[in-house]
Structure 1
């Protein structure tokens, strides 16, 4: 009965992979980062290897081969879990672009749950058969190493995120300064336009004043000429009277 359960779980994982491959063939192309694609390839290879090892453990292979396959299967499951977590971190670091990959991560999460059940059942079976003696310490060590690697990866992602936020803040400050300078240039341009307008008005007033001065000068000259003619005429009359008196 236990063998039937393990076989059903392995068949479920295989059918889930097949269904995901068909669905991905009809989905629209989604632009992903090279890091995400690398972890995704590792994830699929590890799951394929895990199923192959599960078949070896459930088969009629020698005891040593089944024990080695069980140990490697546990390691493959841990590495697949790490690859899944790295994909999750990468999607979160992608921001809005990672929203298109959330459905794919949900499917991978369901796969990991099924794989965990399969690994636990096989591990329990091998322990009952005495093929995993002394495995606890190795498993704890592997788990500690995995946790350390995951924490290191999380720190690197957090540092990258902090650097990106700082760069974004610097960019916003630069944009704000450029906007202020643009407003200052607009105000300066407006002042220059006002000064130009005032200069045009002053030039017009000066032109009018110059014309008035010229007209006034012309009137003065005309008046002087008239006075001079009148004076000459008066002198002429006086001379005529004087000459008439002398005769």
Structure 2
């Protein structure tokens, strides 16, 4: 695991624990004390999500055989953040209900309906934001995998090029060896002819010596 990933993981744990502690505190405190706590929870949750995005980027720089376990860990962390977001949403909904119905005798039904619609729209926007964030994570992961594939292809191309150069060098060595063998063969043939000529001269000399003795 890289040192940078460990640093991000530590920062994430701190932000997550801060959010959990503030959620527990907000659930115990009254409405008058809860507003600041809810804002602090939102800030801690957003910070945790940003750290998760940084962790995803760091994972892309790791070797492919190490990413699976780290991606699983990040997904687990994201599930914990989602659980906190759900609790935060419940607290926000409760706060909105208190604002809506705390003075129920002065609010009319139409205003309450509009408020509920706004809450529904806010929830839809939150879900859309989460989907966009997940799509960005998948895109980054896909981009990283594509980059590794390209690097592997480049390495394979270099290996093929080196192998081809080696084969060309070997072919040159073979050609030179064949030429050397041909030259040696020609020299052997020439040496045979020279040997035969020497033998023939010796035989002729022997006959001449014998002929001179008997004449």
TM-score after normalising by structure 2: 0.67
1:18-54 deviation digits (Å, cap 9, x = unpaired): xxxxxxxxxxxxxx23343233222211111101211
Q: Could you tell me which runs of 5 or more consecutive residues in structure 2 were left unpaired when the two chains were aligned.
A: 100-118, 120-126
**1:179 shift after superposition:** 0.8
Indicate conservation of the 8 Å contact 1:47/1:80, yes or no.
Answer: yes
Q: Please tell me whether residue 189 in structure 1 is matched to residue 157 in structure 2.
A: no
Between the aligned partners of 1:70 and 1:149, the Cα distance in structure 2 is 22
Q: Please tell me whether residue 115 in structure 1 is matched to residue 75 in structure 2.
A: no
- Tell me the SS of whatever aligns to 1:55: helix
- How many residues get paired? 196
Between the aligned partners of 1:228 and 1:79, the Cα distance in structure 2 is 123
**1:214 shift after superposition:** 0.7
Q: Please tell me whether residue 75 in structure 1 is matched to residue 43 in structure 2.
A: yes
Between the aligned partners of 1:154 and 1:35, the Cα distance in structure 2 is 21
User: 34, 43, 52: which one pairs with 1:84?
Assistant: 52
Q: Does the C-alpha gap of structure 1 residues 146 and 112 become closer, same or farther in structure 2, counting only changes over 3 Å?
A: closer
Indicate conservation of the 8 Å contact 2:31/2:95, yes or no.
Answer: no
Q: Match of 2:115?
A: none
**Structure ID, larger Rg:** 1
1:48-83 deviation digits (Å, cap 9, x = unpaired): 1101211332234783x5311211101211222233
Indicate conservation of the 8 Å contact 2:56/2:137, yes or no.
Answer: no
Between the aligned partners of 1:123 and 1:78, the Cα distance in structure 2 is 15
**1:215 shift after superposition:** 0.8
User: 197, 213, 218: which one pairs with 2:202?
Assistant: 218
User: Over aligned residues, Cα RMSD in angstroms?
Assistant: 3.9
**1:185 shift after superposition:** 1.8
**1:227 shift after superposition:** 4.5
Q: Which runs of 4+ in 1 moved over 6 A?
A: 145-162
Q: Does the C-alpha gap of structure 1 residues 148 and 47 become closer, same or farther in structure 2, counting only changes over 3 Å?
A: same
User: 182, 186, 191: which one pairs with 1:198?
Assistant: 182
1:167-225 deviation digits (Å, cap 9, x = unpaired): 44443332221110111122223333333333333333222222111111112223344
Alignment of 1:134-213 (within 5 A): 166-213=150-197
Q: Match of 1:105?
A: 74
Q: Does the C-alpha gap of structure 1 residues 98 and 148 become closer, same or farther in structure 2, counting only changes over 3 Å?
A: closer
User: 29, 34, 43: which one pairs with 1:66?
Assistant: 34
Q: Could you tell me which runs of 5 or more consecutive residues in structure 1 were left unpaired when the two chains were aligned.
A: 1-31, 131-135, 137-142, 234-247
